[in-house]
């Protein structure tokens, strides 16, 4: 039985004041469901240490939104995986479509994942097709290609997040059937190439998950939780989504 996981991706939003209120709003409600659902929040880099301090005593874990593929050195603007581990991150989101759009390749994302694992961070690896790719009937192939780069080095603690690009921040969600169908093909690809990991690996859905659609999505056989953007910025909505992940 895979334990459900809900991850809040705050993207480039917030200030120390708003983040303080958001974390307090989440921790007060989430503690009760912590024995059933894993909950993770991913603030922007400058707020990681602040959020880590606010999460003290809670079971909610901290994630970063990306990390460098390099260990250390003259890489202005980059943040190394060991720095993230040092400030208390346990997870790191990698390959989000907003970073792929900014030029990150499958090969780079695979290298970032190796760098992250070397520091004990658990990667949340994002894959997903654009609207055009789906309309052309290529969604499964696109996702399979993205996965192919990541599969050889996957470890059992890694998480995959299927996020159709056309559903991110648009208010348009994949139907539970569309999402389940893609999750099943991701698991089938895992079964083919990494059979030892296929059953246990968590595959999250992301793309306009809201309190109103979360329970139906999470009820699908191969959907093991969600990667939440917009709705994660509102404590009440995020908490409702975490509740919906309770088995
Ligand atoms: P959204 O974002 O929930 O706002 O669609 C999801 C994501 O980008 O991870």
pTM: 0.97
Averaged pLDDT for residues 142-166 = 96
Q: And the tokens for 141?
A: 């192939």
Catalytic annotation, pick one of 129, 163, 183, 189 = 163
Span of 31-45, 60-74, 212-226 with lowest mean pLDDT: 31-45
Averaged pLDDT for residues 55-82 = 96
Instruction: For residue 9, give the ligand 1 atom closest to its CA.
Output: 9
**96 in active site:** yes
**How much is the pLDDT for 34?**
61
Q: What is the mean pLDDT of the chain?
A: 96
Instruction: For residue 231, give the ligand 1 atom closest to its CA.
Output: 3
**163 in active site:** yes
**How much is the pLDDT for 247?**
67
Span of 18-32, 105-119, 163-177 with lowest mean pLDDT: 18-32
Averaged pLDDT for residues 9-29 = 95
Q: Burial of 12 by CB count in 10 Å (0-12 exposed, 13-18 middle, 19+ buried)? A: exposed
Asked if the model's pLDDT at residue 96 lies above 80, the reply is yes
What confidence category does residue 1 fall into, taking pLDDT thresholds of 50, 70 and 90? confident
Asked if the model's pLDDT at residue 30 lies above 90, the reply is no
Asked if the model's pLDDT at residue 32 lies above 80, the reply is no
């Amino acid at each position: 039985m895979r334990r459900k996981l809900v991850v809040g991706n705050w993207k480039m939003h917030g200030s120390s004041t708003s983040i303080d209120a958001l974390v307090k709003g989440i921790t007060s409600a989430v503690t009760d469901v912590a024995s059933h659902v894993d909950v993770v929040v991913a603030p922007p880099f400058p707020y990681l240490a602040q959020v880590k301090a606010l999460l003290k005593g809670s079971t909610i874990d901290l994630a970063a939104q990306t990390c460098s593929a390099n260990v250390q050195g003259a890489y202005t603007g980059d943040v190394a995986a060991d720095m993230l581990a040092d400030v208390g991150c346990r997870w790191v989101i990698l390959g989000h479509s907003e970073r792929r759009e900014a030029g990150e390749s499958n090969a780079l994302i695979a290298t970032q994942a190796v760098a992250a694992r070397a520091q004990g961070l658990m990667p949340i690896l994002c894959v997903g097709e654009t609207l055009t790719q789906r309309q052309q009937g290529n969604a499964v192939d696109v996702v399979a290609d993205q996965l192919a780069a990541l599969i050889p080095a996957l470890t059992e603690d890694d998480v995959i997040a299927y996020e159709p690009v056309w559903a991110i921040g648009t208010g348009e969600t994949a139907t539970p059937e569309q999402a389940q169908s893609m999750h099943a093909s991701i698991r089938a690809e895992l079964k083919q190439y990494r059979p030892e990991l296929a059953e246990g690996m968590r595959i999250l859905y992301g793309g306009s998950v809201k309190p109103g659609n979360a329970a139906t999505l999470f009820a699908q056989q191969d959907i093991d939780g969600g990667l939440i953007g917009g709705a994660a910025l509102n404590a009440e909505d995020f908490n409702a989504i975490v509740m919906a992940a309770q088995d």
